[in-house]
Amino acid sequence: MPSELRAIRLARTRRSRTGRLVVVVTVGVGIATLAVIFVFPGFRFYAPTPPVTPSASALTLGAEPPAQPVVVRVRAGSVELDGSVVDRTEGMDRVTRLDGLYDGLKTRRMGWRGSGEPPHTLILSIDDDVPMVVVKSVVQTCAFAGFDDVQFATAADR
């Protein structure tokens, strides 16, 4: 029996030593963290990023002007791409792809001659009397053609 008691006492002392060690390490890490935060306020865990300045090539006179935005105008019975009618929408009762608009937008993206990626932003101007089915068809057709950033024009913008 005495050897069993000795083993139990030994286990208890080891457990208490381990508990004290955990407390000491936790307190030490906490104090070190507070020292880093308050004593060294300029310390950063990450490298600061330098401010972005325009490059000299962007400021040259020979730089390419930004591309003109594509404007899609949706009227009561038609869809216009940059002023010319590309599709008719009378009697549209379900969401469908507008082939004329799709072909015009796809041709616009394929004909891009500028540097970098072709534009994917367009401005959508919609009249008040256009059904929602037509609006959804136009937005989805634009996305299918690669113009996934659709901006809506207000009445003041027209």
Question: Could you tell me the pLDDT band of residue 80, with boundaries at 50, 70 and 90?
Answer: very high
Res 140: pLDDT = 92
Res 112: pLDDT = 73
Per-residue model confidence as pLDDT tens digits over 103-151 = 998 888 887 766 667 777 889 999 888 999 999 999 999 989 888 888 8
Whole-structure pTM value: 0.56
Residue 142: name the closest of 85, 100, 94, 88 by CA: 100
Res 33: pLDDT = 79
Residue 125: name the closest of 70, 86, 87, 88 by CA: 70
Mapping DSSP to helix (H, G, I), strand (E, B) and coil, where does residue 8 land?
helix
- Written as one letter, the residue type at 12 is R
Per-residue model confidence as pLDDT tens digits over 39-79 = 666 656 555 666 655 554 444 555 455 567 788 999 888 99
Res 85: pLDDT = 92
CB 81 within 8 A of CB 67: no
Where do we find the tokens 């072709």? 118
What mean pLDDT value characterizes the chain?
Answer: 79
